[in-house]
Homo-oligomer: A and B are copies of this chain.
């Protein structure tokens, strides 16, 4: 379960030298999540655990993790960045944003994944990463909007 967190911490330690407590805390918290978190959400989560961190450190650490490819930054269009562990090669999910309540839920879809894989060659262009964001009303909001 914490395999991503361990691998990430080990790899970061190799690249840079010191490994501070705040980075470990952020990575471990991210490793426990299954979907994306906002920077503020990570900050709140760490504070809730009693960890005294600064929001700036959270941003700085996330920036490093994104730059080194361990974390994927996701932007669903509300102006707030979200972050989640990047599982290289492995399972891959995308996000569905509810137009009503703004909730973000994950989904997987094999045909979509295949179409995305072929893109790189069809475009004759390197594609390092892809984000797909769908918008629509979630079942709760559809019912409420009747």
Residues of B within 8 A of A28 (CB): none
Grouping DSSP codes into helix (H, G, I), strand (E, B) and loop, the A interface class, with mixed when no group exceeds half, is mixed
B-contacting residues, A106-136, CB 8 Å: 107, 109, 111-112, 114-116, 118-120, 122-123, 125-136
Q: Residue of B at shortest CB range from A133?
A: B131
Residues of B within 8 A of A139 (CB): 125
Contact between chains at A132 and B129 (CB < 8 Å): no
B-contacting residues, A67-118, CB 8 Å: 73, 75-77, 79, 81, 96, 99, 107, 109, 111-112, 114-116, 118
Contact between chains at B119 and A109 (CB < 8 Å): yes
Contact between chains at A127 and B134 (CB < 8 Å): yes
- In the complex, A81→B80 CA distance in Å? 12
Contact between chains at A75 and B77 (CB < 8 Å): yes
Residues of B within 8 A of A122 (CB): 109, 111
Which residues of A are at the interface with B, using a C-beta cutoff of 8 A? 73, 75-77, 79, 81, 96, 99, 107, 109, 111-112, 114-116, 118-120, 122-123, 125-139, 142
